[in-house]
Amino acid sequence: MRAGMLTRRAFAALTAAAAALPAPARSRPSSPFRRTPLIIAHRGASGERPEHTLMAYRLAIAEGCDVIEPDLVPTRDGHLVVRHEPEIGGTTDIASRPEFAGRRSRKLIDGESLEGWFSEDFTLAELKSLRARERLPQLRPGNAKYDGLEPIPTFQEVVDLAKAESRRTGRTIGTYPEMKHPTYFASIGLPLEGRLHAALKANGLDSAAAPVFVQCFEVGALKTFRRLSRAPLIQLMDAEAGPADLAQLSYREMSSPAGLRQVATYADGIGPDWKMVLPIAEDGTLAPAAPLVADAHAAGLMVHPWTVRAENAFLPPALRRGDQPAAHGDVETLYHALYAAGVDGLFSDFPGLAVAARG
């Protein structure tokens, strides 16, 4: 068993004890944001620009989002950079760079064997020499015309952008960093928690009232971060599987009323797959809202589901328009249904559409 890993039996014992307790008392300061539900720009306006680029974040802010979301991975020399995964072959031009051909490798990350180029094998200077490109060019060909225009940003550059745009627009722009694969990175000597805490502290974001949310799919990293910081924490949940650092535990178990009470002992909210809030019925329509939002609120937790995308490929059958996967469907109905379910915010690749639906 890896260090920090809990067994399913141990988590069950904790949730059984939590079920007998009242929801945690919270003295939450007033939100720094003007509007709710919050519109969280997932990797920026990633439906319209290559994800995790400053141009994607700028466009999301121009479209009215409240928060911009960077995924964080470390470099070999310990800097936090913004990529969806440590494997960067699909989001940069590294495959065309002969000087880095010899660093292609295969790694086992959270039980999955991956081949490519990995952020932790490069210095910040080396990664800065690369250029970002669209990850889904077949679905988003319009984004591909922006390939090669921008480098990989650092987390500090994203924070600086949020601060500058907050001053320029007169409204608070938050950041929502995700710690990616923290158990894996700790195992190779590049733990994320301390690095992220130091960055928040240096930028005046290390408090419960700061315009920031720290998210992770793993439990141990969030518990470690809670000991370091009072910044709001979000436990991410997938509709399938479970945390990489919890043996044989499912997110479905964690999203039960008892499981949510346990989550509330270390986190301030949950980020579930939106289908955990709005199940898809057998006929392809949206079913009535599940009790997850009400159960989470009863436990004192915020709910920020992910990720609403406009393309047919990502929508329930009843909301698709035409038969082209890249065409946009009736995403407005999905936005309205999530808002009606009482969510406190949502992640979207198309923040402008989410803002318009919020009204």
Query: 88-101 pLDDT, tens per residue?
Result: 999 999 999 999 99
Is 197 considered catalytic here?
no
Phi, psi of 5 (to 5 degrees): -85, 135
Give pLDDT, residue 9: 59
Distance of alpha carbon 250 from alpha carbon 213, whole angstroms = 23
Give pLDDT, residue 22: 45
Asked if 75 and 84 touch (Cβ cutoff 8 Å), the reply is no
Catalytic option among 52, 79, 84, 304: 84
Please report, as a single letter, which amino acid is at residue 251: Y
Residue 311 falls within a domain, yes or no? Answer: yes
Kindly state the average pLDDT of the residues 326-344.
Answer: 98
Query: 165-177 pLDDT, tens per residue?
Result: 999 999 999 999 9
Please report, as a single letter, which amino acid is at residue 151: P
Kindly state the average pLDDT of the residues 192-219.
Answer: 98
Give pLDDT, residue 21: 43
Distance of alpha carbon 133 from alpha carbon 153, whole angstroms = 13
pLDDT band at residue 324 using 50, 70 and 90 as cut-offs: very high
Burial class (CB in 10 A: 0-12, 13-18, 19+), 286: buried
Residue 27 falls within a domain, yes or no? Answer: no
Burial class (CB in 10 A: 0-12, 13-18, 19+), 149: middle
The parent domain of residue 251 ranges over: 33-85+150-358
Give pLDDT, residue 12: 55
Question: Average pLDDT of the chain?
Answer: 93
Catalytic option among 42, 79, 181, 328: 42
Phi, psi of 92 (to 5 degrees): -140, 180
The residue whose two tokens read 């608070």 is 172
Quote the percentage of the chain above a pLDDT of 90: 89
What is the total count of domains within the chain?
A: 1
Kindly state the average pLDDT of the residues 289-315.
Answer: 98
pTM: 0.92
The residue whose two tokens read 């690749």 is 349
Q: Which residue has the higher pLDDT, 299 or 1?
A: 299
Terminus-to-terminus CA distance in the chain, angstroms? Answer: 49
Is 42 considered catalytic here?
yes
Kindly state the average pLDDT of the residues 314-322.
Answer: 98
Specify the range with the lowest mean pLDDT, choosing from 19-23, 154-158, 261-265. Answer: 19-23
- CATH code at position 199: 3.20.20.190
Give pLDDT, residue 7: 53
Report which secondary-structure segment, H or E, holds 336.
helix 331-340
Residue 177 falls within a domain, yes or no? Answer: yes
| Confidence check: pLDDT of 52 > 50 | yes
Residue 114 falls within a domain, yes or no? Answer: no
Q: Which of 245, 298, 248, 290 is nearest to 272 (CA)?
A: 290
Specify the range with the lowest mean pLDDT, choosing from 6-10, 162-166, 226-230. Answer: 6-10
Quote the percentage of the chain above a pLDDT of 70: 92
Residue 154 falls within a domain, yes or no? Answer: yes
Asked if 263 and 23 touch (Cβ cutoff 8 Å), the reply is no
Distance of alpha carbon 229 from alpha carbon 215, whole angstroms = 13
Residue 24 falls within a domain, yes or no? Answer: no
Query: 104-149 pLDDT, tens per residue?
Result: 999 999 999 999 999 999 999 999 999 999 999 999 999 999 999 9
Distance of alpha carbon 329 from alpha carbon 170, whole angstroms = 33
pLDDT band at residue 11 using 50, 70 and 90 as cut-offs: low
Burial class (CB in 10 A: 0-12, 13-18, 19+), 137: middle
Residue 323 CA: distances (Å) to CA of 138, 141, 281, 319, 320 = 15, 17, 20, 11, 8
Work out the angle at residue 23's Cα, subtended by the Cα atoms of residues 21 and 24, and round it to the nearest 5 degrees.
100
Distance of alpha carbon 174 from alpha carbon 211, whole angstroms = 5
Q: Which residue has the higher pLDDT, 27 or 345?
A: 345
Give pLDDT, residue 127: 98
Give me the sign of the Cα torsion angle 51, 57, 58, 60. positive
Give pLDDT, residue 8: 55
Give pLDDT, residue 24: 46
Give pLDDT, residue 10: 55
Residue 231 falls within a domain, yes or no? Answer: yes
| Confidence check: pLDDT of 53 > 90 | yes
Residue 100 falls within a domain, yes or no? Answer: no
